[in-house]
Structure formats: C-alpha cells, structure tokens
Amino acid sequence: MARTISIANQKGGVGKTTTAVNLASALARAGKRVLLVDLDPQGNATTGCGVDKLDLELSTYEVLLENQPARRALRRSAGDEFDLLPSNTDLTAAEVTLMNHPMKERRLALALKPLLPEYDYLLIDCPPSLSMLTINALVASRGVLVPLQTEYYALEGLTGLLNTIEKIRELYNPELHLEGILRTMHDLRNRLAAEVSRQLIDHFGEQVFRTVIPRNVRVAEAPSHGQSVLLYDRYSRGAVSYMALASEMLRRHEGAN
C-alpha cells in the first residue's frame, strides 16, 4: 500500500515542485513504484516531467470534479521513470467549484484510493497556498514534507502550515504528521543560511532532514528540458543530494515499520 506524502509550503519559490519531481525520480531509481500528483494549477511539475500541460485529454481537474478515474489520466514522466497525474490551468476553477461538492475535502483521497495498492509512494505537489486543493492533499496524505529555503523569511508561514496540519489531523485525518523539513537552495558560504539552518534544527530537531539541497545550476536547468535533474545530469551536486534525500527517507520509513 502506497505511502502518500504531500510536498507543501504556502510560500512560493522554495523548491517545492523541484523537490516533488526530483524526489519522485530518486525514489523510482531506488526501485520504488512512484506516482507524482500535480495539484498545482500552474502545472510546473507536469512540464518538469516532460509532459505538455496544454495537450492533456484528462487532468487532475477532471479527476477531482468530473469523477473521471484517476487511472485514465495517468502519464509517464520523461525517461519512463514514474507515473504522473498531470495538471494545467483548468485546475484554477477547482477552488470555487469544490466548495459546492459533497465531501469537498476528500475528493482527492477518494480519487486516489483505487491506485494505492499499485504504488510504494504517492507524492503530491501542492499549490503555494493553504487552499481547498492543499486541504484535499493533506486529507489524502500520511505525511507532509516541507521544503524551506534557508533565508531570512524562511520561518514565516511555517507556523500557519503546521497549525493547518494539526487542524486537518483533528478534523479529517488522524494519521497525518510532519514527514520532515527539507532545507533547499542552501548556500554553504552564506552565514545567514547557516544561522537559519541552526534555528531550524534547534526548533525541530530530528524532524529536519539531514540532507540539504544546495543551490545548483543543473537543478535549475533541468525543468526547461522536461527532465528531473537525475535524468539531466545524474552526477551533479543537486542529483546526488536528491538521491541522498530518498535514501534518508527510505531509512526513516524502514525504521518506523
């Protein structure tokens, strides 16, 4: 049965989609069956996987709001690495439309349920907001991975996200927990980055992943080629870091079982 993890942060530009695509790739290379769900109307995870978001017969919109089976919308990522449930701007309308649907918080969970036995990991790339789409992702998930850039405003908004996780746990999903905090776009030469990193560890301890994702040109270039960084340049620092993250996550899960 798949372990479902939302990758969420209400602050944009922290490496959320980059982490979703590259962690999916790294887990697939570790021999895991992976499904990446693009739940962001921007569809960046979709294009980052080499899928044309303007040429989708079915997407997360039809799955959530028109009761189309999720299986029918699945595509394969570039390099045949993992499965993708794609998204595009059609999903923008979902915010308002979902409010009028029965069980509006559970639409995604119900749609993904038939697929759970077929995968080891389901990763959900959330929009950069605490919206109804994000709530759907959290209700469908077991854990939440929070990418956090090591900069001055890094902790802004984190409290709000953690409070939302707690409310979702109380109201809808008692299994939901913080999977971990991932430091992204980290510059080892920057004194402020080191200070923010220290504060995170002081506050959250082992909930902060030991793996740190550095600033890396190859990571930034890979989406424009519709590839994960592991497919684009598997020997780059970014690719090695995401493989390390997958290994750390797998060790944690094996230790918890």
Concatenating the DSSP letter of every residue in 108-126 gives HHHHHGGGGGG-SEEEEE-
What are the chain's domains? Answer: 3-256 (3.40.50.300)
The pLDDT value recorded for residue 45 is: 97
Pairwise pLDDT comparison (60 vs 200), residue with the higher score: 60
Are 179 and 143 in contact, with CB atoms under 8 Å apart? Answer: yes
Q: Single out the residue of 61, 76, 77 nearest to residue 111, CA to CA.
A: 61
Backbone angles phi, psi at 179, to 5 degrees: -70, -40
Question: Does residue 149 register a pLDDT over 90?
Answer: no
Weakest mean pLDDT among 46-50, 193-197, 246-250:
193-197
pTM of the model: 0.95
Mean pLDDT throughout 220-224? 95
Mean pLDDT over 206-232 rounds to: 95
Q: What is the mean pLDDT of residues 121-129?
A: 95
End-to-end Cα, the chain, rounded Å:
13
- Partners of 123 in the β-ladder: 5, 36
pLDDT band at 33 (very low <50, low <70, confident <90, very high): very high
- Mean pLDDT confidence for 147-155: 81
131 or 246: which carries more pLDDT confidence? 246
Strand-pair category, 3-7 with 75-76: unpaired
Q: Are 154 and 160 in contact (CB under 8 A)?
A: no
In this structure, of 61-70, 190-199, 208-217, 236-245, the range with the lowest mean pLDDT score is 190-199
What is the bridge-based pairing of β-strands 83-85 and 75-76? antiparallel
pLDDT class of 229 with cuts at 50, 70, 90: very high
